Amino acid sequence: MSYAIIGFGAVGQALAHAFARKNIEVAVASRRPPEALAPQARAIGPTIVAKSLRDALAADTIILAVPFGEHREVAKALPSWEGKTVIDATNAFGVPVEELDGLPSSAFVAKAFTGAKLVKGFNHLVAATLAADPIVEGGHRLVFLSSDDEDAIAPVAALAKQLGFAPLNLGKLDEGGTLVHARGRTWGRLIFQDLFKKEQ
């Protein structure tokens, strides 16, 4: 399984730290050329590889860490998203609800990535918390996952575990997933909740 993080701002870099901590290779890309990202990528760790957007999108699993409005530009970069899993780590806070066609933000994002399996995840924590070691006080920091494609949750949950997190499946995007969606000027109830699962 190959991974890429698209967007190399605070959240993208936080996720890169999580991959580096476990020595898992991940491509990172943004609107900037790879040579502009390379020094920061190298500083995070040797498994963080700066690539062009086109090359990064060759990965099986794409983590979307761009500002919400930029997801369409990323989606246009491939003619087909068949066979890809997209993890939506964006938040639509401040985006008027009417601009989302009445959908949860990730369901709206999913429309742009035709053919992909989309999972909402890694969006509910601030970047500094996401970058920190998720193993705390004998427990693992929770990450909430939701998807309308049940088959998509298991591999993303496996990745979350590999990174040291405790994944929790909230179900479909318009059901439990609404707890981690920002809409208009409101945050879902689980956003910013820094919770842990104790070891059994």
Only one residue has tokens 């190298």, namely 42
Pull the structure tokens for residue 106: 């990730």
Q: Per-residue pLDDT for 200 more than 70?
A: no
What angle, rounded to 10 degrees, do the helices at 34-44 and 10-21 form?
50
Digit-coded pLDDT (tens) for 63-89: 999 999 899 999 999 999 999 999 999
Mean pLDDT of 98-105: 90
Tens-digit pLDDT profile for residues 109-141? 999 999 999 999 999 999 999 999 999 878 999
- 16: its two tokens: 């890169």
Global pTM value: 0.96
The Cα 175–Cα 166 span in angstroms is 20
